[in-house]
Amino acid sequence: MPSSPDHAAALPAGAAPGPAFSLRPLLFANLACTMAMMAFVSLVGPMARVLRLAPWQAGMAVTVGGVLWMLLSRPWGQASDRHGRRPVLLAGVGGFGLAYWAMCAVLVVALHVLPAAGLVFLGLLVSRGAVGAFYAAIPSTGLALVADHVAPGHRAGAMASLGAANAVGMVLGPALAAGLAQSSLSLPLYATALLPLAAFGVLWKGLPRAERRHADLPRTLGLGDARLRAPMAVAFVAMFCVAIAQITVGFFAIDQLGLASGPAARAAGMALTSVGVALIGSQLLVRRLDWTPLRLIRIGSLVAAAGFGATALVHDAWLLGACFFVAAAGMGWVFPAFSALAANAVEAHEQGSAAGSVGAAQGLGIVLGPLAGTLLYAIAPGAPYVAVALLLAGTAAWVALRR
């Protein structure tokens, strides 16, 4: 889409003209970085077993990235408001690549040397934390860049395209890792380490160089700004519910479906694969629907509530996948909608801060969701899904009242 004249900026004297805004570089960067992240997530279990790491240590290494994403999304967004989207996005992707290489190096060396588990855990904790810290720059700055160049009425569709790219990465990353891991556990690490490098190159060439910076403006957007309460609340609920479903589906397949550990893992994997497929399709559909963000949140939350609520009643693996597909289709409308709702609520010089604030709310959901899911699961296998359905239905009702 063409750049908005309100947000265009003149090039500095003597600077070469850069490319006009295009969504394609952002789509590729989101796809590549998500593939790398999800490939690691799919490998961490088998690697932990080989490296003699306890399950809680592997889980902690993944969780620390979510915590740092929560804490740093807003600072990255604020930095992009003051210093420009291009330098901050390149710094985020470049730092993500270096941190990912460091994490791969820790694992490759550990697989060959087999050092003490404590040393491996420490190296993994630091490097995986750095991955999450730099990754936080990508969604917050990318969404702000979209808001800079896309008219408010079309932002939900453009942001849905970014979500679809992430969903493709969610599907392809584990698939790539699974295919390469048949040869060795190290091979997927070597292959996926190339993805951030490719993303950096595409962004360097494709990001516009002409942009307005707001270094001379005061920071007026507080974390509790009334304009962002609704999108931040929806962002938290959405990620909170997704995290609950992800953490409990494997246990649910064993206890509710009565499967052994191997078939349960396959059933859970198929359910999560159906999530990726549904997210791709539903977020691509957003561009054709041309609905307002509030309508997308209201209807998407109801569809997702129906899918998750039905999950609590299933006793077959194929029904589990079908319910997760329906739930993910609804969530695919919710995710781009709350990002567009936040972007439409603030001024041009606040877009990075707004995107970062929404990212922080999502990060909080990622951190608290697994804890809530395991506590609810202790009550009954279906309890987490009933709770998620009620929470999403309540969100739809709240959004309807806000109209």
d(CA 202, CA 148): 20
Spatial CA neighbour of 300 closest among 399, 220, 192, 212: 399
- Tell me the fold of 226-402: Growth Hormone; Chain: A; (1.20.1250)
pLDDT at 38: 82
- Three-state SS sequence of 147-195: HHHCCHHHHHHHHHHHHHHHHHHHHHHHHHHHHHCCCCCHHHHHHHCHH
CATH of domain 24-206: 1.20.1250.20
pLDDT at 78: 86
Spatial CA neighbour of 395 closest among 299, 252, 264, 268: 299
- pLDDT values of the chain reduced to their tens digit, one per residue, 403 residues: 334 333 333 333 333 445 677 889 999 999 999 999 888 877 777 777 788 877 777 778 877 887 888 888 889 988 888 888 899 999 999 999 999 999 999 998 988 887 777 888 899 899 999 998 999 999 889 888 888 888 888 888 888 888 888 888 888 888 888 778 777 778 888 999 999 999 999 999 988 887 666 555 555 666 677 788 889 999 999 999 988 888 788 788 888 888 776 677 677 777 877 888 898 889 888 888 888 889 999 999 999 999 999 999 998 889 998 999 999 999 999 998 998 888 888 887 778 888 888 888 888 888 888 888 888 988 998 999 999 999 999 999 998 887 6
Q: What share of the chain is helix, strand, coil (3-state, %, to 5)?
A: 80, 0, 20
Radius of gyration of the chain (CA): 21
24-206 shares its CATH topology with 226-402: yes
pLDDT at 19: 64
pLDDT at 170: 81
Q: How many helices (H) and strands (E) does the chain have?
A: 14, 0
DSSP codes, 214-267 = -TTS-----TT-GGGHHHHHHHHHHHHHHHHHHHHHHHHHHHTT---HHHHHHH
> Which residue ranges make up each domain of the chain?
24-206, 226-402
Answer yes or no: are the C-beta atoms of 131 and 44 closer than 8 Å. no
